Amino acid sequence: MTENEQKLVEQLRGALKSRAMVYAAMYEEIAAEFGADKAREICKRAIYKRGESIAHCFAQHAPADLGGLKDTFLNFIPQGQHLFKPEVVRCDADELEIQFHRCPLKEAWQEAGYDGAALANLCDIGGVVDYGTFEKAGFRIQSDTWQPGREGCCRLHIRPGPG
């Protein structure tokens, strides 16, 4: 990687970490005012909508071109290999499964002192963006977000959507 590419990766990592801290601050403020359950609900609705706003980038592959979706999605993530370290575990007619081994959002939360259940909560909230993206694009998705004791980050299971 060139020095300029490394600089770009660090700038992108910083922007994603900033996004993570906005999520955490929003959650904390809403939870203080309305309780943790309401805060999760509100944050998830907002982040889901953010995911929906980028679904058009992937809709051309719906309902069942998982190979095309894989290529488009992995190329969509700026410097994704360096920032998220995605591993395609499976890609066939039934499922696209991607394991992410890094996540700048999770790293930011850890650096800020979140761990255990609090970290898992933020990962669950932040991971809703994928539901908004892929459901709106015309696919079915299940995301296994990070949990205490688990290595890596999210694992996405994307399946053909309703025809």
φ, ψ for residue 45 (rounded to 5)? -60, -45
The C-alpha atoms of residue 58 and residue 72 are separated, in whole angstroms, by: 7
The whole-number pLDDT of residue 163 equals 72
pLDDT of residue 80 exceeding 90, the answer is: no
The whole-number pLDDT of residue 1 equals 83
DSSP 159: E
The C-alpha atoms of residue 135 and residue 133 are separated, in whole angstroms, by: 6
Q: To the nearest whole percent, how much of the chain has pLDDT over 90?
A: 96
DSSP 150: -
Out of 68-72, 116-120, 150-154, least confident range: 150-154
Report domain extents, the chain.
3-159
Q: Return the H-helix or E-strand segment holding 93.
A: none
**Model's pTM, two decimal places?**
0.95
Cβ(40)–Cβ(130) under 8 Å?
no
Tens of pLDDT, residue by residue over 2-36, are: 999 999 999 999 999 999 999 999 999 999 999 99
What is the CATH code for 3-159? 3.30.1380
Tens of pLDDT, residue by residue over 106-128, are: 999 999 999 999 999 999 999 99
pLDDT of residue 136 exceeding 90, the answer is: yes
